[in-house]
Structure 1
């Protein structure tokens, strides 16, 4: 039987011995990590702002765009299928080679070490849009100024918070796995691989330094910036706007225009109504590339015990008020 994220959290308190730290810097982010985090946010974002004028006549090729798209969706699915649906929520079990590949692919998205990412997200689900949620846009209240401040916090500000999620409490299963712990600690290595592989390919294909530079600009910097902001939009936008056809104890909503770029994650309301579901876009027209790839993994025998939502399970979670309310439900109401 697949272990859910809540089961993992509950079992953590019974741990008999302290668990090793899973990430660089442990529970506290030191000054060097804060500076590194700032650089990884600001530099790719500046590259994204410069992308349009640079592309206007001479700074982009089909190779550059191909590298951007390939590495974008490699990292995106590494996050959505690996870090999120597999490692955080146990939506399916994976054979060891696939499990390792998903951990590496997710690390190449440059969104932080595996153990820290999972711990933060499990904590988010435990307290979603309530006190204790690390990145709720409703943190400061419901007035327009408070919401604007909260959206910035949920989108990017929370990552600079010195208070860190206890990894031994929220991700003990990963800390006990030596391979996953090692991959998490090798975050800088996988970041380097992620950023240098596109220019290496670009330089070899074009046999020029200019080809390497434009491949680095588009396939590394712009790609990372775009993926970062799409992922952060799930934390901010999808908890502030969007339809709510399903019952959840928070303000998670479905934002259709982010579905393709988020690899299906923006069908966020169903995810919070049924966190262990392997598919988030449950209606026929709702594109969810992550669920499709999980299905392929299952057919190949690489994934098993997949938690596909049944029609009765989906219908049982539907809202009776039409999904138009943005009122935050209490945990008692959601039960």
Structure 2
């Protein structure tokens, strides 16, 4: 247990909401955050058809999705997991908070899981490989469901002191992880508040809650989980990696460029995943803008020489 954990809360588990055994409370909360948005997906088309979708709902949902998505892709993933660039303190804190608002777990827990995934990618020890049960149709079907959602309920959690010791030493990230449920609450209630303020009606607040909170959370969750399941089952592999990671072009826009997954596993610290022509990577563009503003530095951009070295051709 780190000194910061002890000083802040007296318990590493309370500091990061990430003990080595998943609690019943966490499993119940997780079930609700999966089931409710999924039901909203089923209801989305008839709700929209019934006139319960306005321009304010579209705007709120788009803004909240973009902010929280890039909080995960730029913050949780490329910064905190892989150290693809060095931010100033304000950028670090904002990205950690926005990533938390995607409601995919506290930043330290998320990073520990993802680092373990890279260490054992598609081998024994990988928390969410779709090849876990073999390559037969039945085994791959079971493995696909495990990689997409089943692994989230695994009682055995990744030890954060082993896989994220650097983050446990960061006072800002420990505090943000400890306050995860506050950020989750903000993510839930900001859309209906914005909907009410934009329309001055409770109906505007209700529809903004449906689209900007429930549907948006469900969409960002399933897009993120699809990188684990779909992008490790199918896709092109133009670069050499030790696993089955592939590029899935139709997920590029909703995933912020994360679905150019083959290069990521071939060169995990690269700040850009979509490196070829027309490979849209909005997360890399966000990092580029932050660099131009002078708010981040030492960005690990891919070079032609490194890409050639990683090429499978």
TM range (shorter): over 0.9
Equivalent residue number for residue 256 of structure 1: 249
RMSD over aligned Cα atoms? 1.6
Alignment of 1:107 with 2:63, yes or no, is no
Q: Are residues 305 and 223 of structure 1, via their aligned partners in 2, closer, same or farther at CA, if it must alter by over 3 Å?
A: same
Equivalent residue number for residue 61 of structure 1: 54
Equivalent residue number for residue 88 of structure 1: 81
Match of 2:289 among 282, 286, 296: 296
Equivalent residue number for residue 133 of structure 1: 126
Task: Give distance in 1, aligned partners of 2:3 and 2:104.
Answer: 31
Alignment of 1:287 with 2:283, yes or no, is no
Unaligned runs of 5+ in 2: 7-11
SS in 1 for 2:16: coil
Q: In the alignment, is the contact (CA less than 8 A) between 1:43 and 1:221 conserved in 2?
A: yes
Residue 48 of structure 1 deviates from its aligned partner by 1.1
Match of 1:316 among 297, 306, 309: 309
Task: Give distance in 2, aligned partners of 1:185 and 1:159.
Answer: 19
Alignment of 1:245 with 2:238, yes or no, is yes
SS in 1 for 2:129: coil
Match of 2:195 among 202, 209, 213: 202
Q: Which stretch has the larger CA shift, 262-271 or 15-24?
A: 15-24
Equivalent residue number for residue 263 of structure 2: 270
TM-score, with length taken from structure 2: 0.96
Alignment of 1:191 with 2:184, yes or no, is yes
Q: In the alignment, is the contact (CA less than 8 A) between 2:4 and 2:168 conserved in 1?
A: no
SS in 2 for 1:238: helix
The C-alpha deviation readout for 1:56-87, integer Å capped at 9, x for no partner, is 03111010011111101111100000000000
Match of 1:97 among 90, 102, 106: 90
Equivalent residue number for residue 324 of structure 1: none
Q: In the alignment, is the contact (CA less than 8 A) between 1:18 and 1:168 conserved in 2?
A: no
Unaligned runs of 5+ in 1: 1-11, 321-335
Task: Give distance in 2, aligned partners of 1:249 and 1:306.
Answer: 24
